[in-house]
Every structure is written in structure tokens, then in C-alpha cells.
Amino acid sequence: MKLRRWVTTATAVFAFLGLSLAGTASAQPEAAASGYVALGDSYSSGVGAGSYDSGSGDCKRSANAYPELWRAANSPSSFDFTACSGARTGDVLADQMGPLDASTGLVSISVGGNDAGFADTMTTCVLEGESACLTRVQQARDYIAGTLPGQLDKVYGAISDKAPNAEVAVLGYPRMYKLQGSCVLGISEKSRAAINAAADDLNDVTAKRAADHGFRFGDVRPAFTGHEICSGDAWLHSVTFPIDESYHPTAAGQSGGYLPTLNGIA
């Protein structure tokens, strides 16, 4: 009786262990998050770089934009390009975040320039003279210092919530002008310096908010140094037609400025 009870007990134990081991052997590790989602404004969609996807409409997503270049070089498991010309932080939240999920391994984004009134500031500076330009630039700088940090926090927090496994690369903005450069006509040197200072403010605030969310910040200013407007080898458009490409990176600015910066932090 004792031997029979031992055999019965041992058989049950071995059967249990066998099931457990079988279950362990059949369990598969979760696939690594490897999809890429490109969010942001016109500096990410590639306005100014040409070769626009006709299906992207007014968002003007370019085949020469840094997200497309990164995708071609790295072949992510999935790629969603939702960046759009004119996008502000609220637009990113409302319209661009649908593809983000646990499978997203990389998110890139540039945003904040439109919130600060970049387009209106440049229009004022070109059309209304130095005094109006300096006033409008100061308004932009006040917004960047006072209001933009909270707006960026909303976007960055939403990215973390929706794509918890993603590495997030936040890209900044170049300085627009080479001071004491080759430009003979155009806005005053004082206006150019003020615009550059606003770009520095925008980068500083963006970098701080990105760091506080555990994201990596890509500063494109070093890559664009020597390639600003008035440099003689500009990777940025001055006033162009169509007008919406004005003050945006060229295809060379995307491939030589933004892509290497993303590569350095992604």
C-alpha cells in the first residue's frame, strides 16, 4: 500500500512538472518594439525638400524628409509618417498619435515652432521693418518661456503613455541666419540676430522638457552651422515661391542636417 501510494504521488508530481516545463518551453518571448513613428511639424514632414507625397495633401510629406531617409536606411518593422506642415502641439495630440502603441520602438518629433508663431514672426520681419520685427520676436520669446513648456509636456506625456517601449528622439531647429554673412538685401542684421536668439530659446526649452521626460534631444544647430541663410551654402530657403517653403530646410538640410542628428541619438 505504501509503495503504491508513493508511485501514485510521484506520477502526479512528474505529470505536474511535465506540464509546467512544457508550458515554459512553449512560451515565446515578446517581439521587440521596432516600429517607427514620425510625428511633428513641417521641419519633420519635409516642407522645402521637394518630392512631396501627393496623398499627404497640405501636410506636404517629402520623400527627402529625414524620417523617410531614416526608414530607407534602417528598415523598421513598420513605419508611420504623420508629421504635417503647420502642426502645433495640439495638432500632434489630436491628429498624429494614432499609430503609437506598445510595438513602437522609435518616435521622432519636432514641434513648438508653430506654437510660438514662427511663420507670423518671419512675415512680420520681412514685411514690416525692424521695429515691428523685434516686437514680434519678443512676443515669440515670451511665449516660448512662459507657455510652450506646458504644451510640450502634454505632447511628451501622451507619447510616453501611448508608446511605453519607444525611444523618443526630439529634434530641434537651426538658427536661421549667419550673422555678418553674405546677404546684401533683406531684413536688418539686428532682426536676424533677434530671430537667431529666439531659435536658441526654442531649442533650450525643448531640450529641457525632453530631458525631463527621459527623451533624447537632437540639436541640429551644429550641423547647420555654415549652412544658414547668408552663409553662401545655405541648407535653408529664404523667401521662396511657393511661399510656404520659405525658411525651411532644403533636401540637403534634411539629409545633411537632420538625418545625421537623428542618427546620433536614435
What residues pair up with 177 in beta bridges, in sequence order? 229
Total number of residues shown for the chain: 266
Residue found by looking up cell 523685434 in the block: 134
Residue 236: strand, helix, or coil? strand
**Cα separation, 159 vs 107, whole angstroms:** 8
Catalytic residue among 34, 213, 248, 255: 248
- In the sheet with 79-81, reading across from the earlier edge strand, the strands are 79-81, 35-38, 104-109, 167-171, 216-218
Distance, in Å, from the CA atom of 5 to the CA atom of 2, rounded to the nearest integer, reads 5
Residues 6+ apart with CB under 8 A from 124: 132, 133, 136
- List beta partners, residue 37: 80, 107
Residue 55 is which amino acid? G
User: Is the Cα dihedral 79, 82, 88, 90 positive or negative?
Assistant: negative
Please indicate whether residue 227 is annotated as part of the active site: no
Told to judge if 248 belongs to the known catalytic residues of this protein, a careful annotator would answer yes
Which residue of the set 34, 42, 108, 231 is catalytic?
42
Short-list 223, 224, 215, CA closest to 265: 215
C-alpha cell at 7: 508511485
- The dihedral region occupied by 144, where left means phi > 0, alpha psi between -120 and 50, and beta the remainder, is alpha
What's the grid cell of residue 31? 517581439
The answer to whether the beta carbons of residues 173 and 111 sit under 8 Å apart is: no
* Active site amino acids: 42, 248
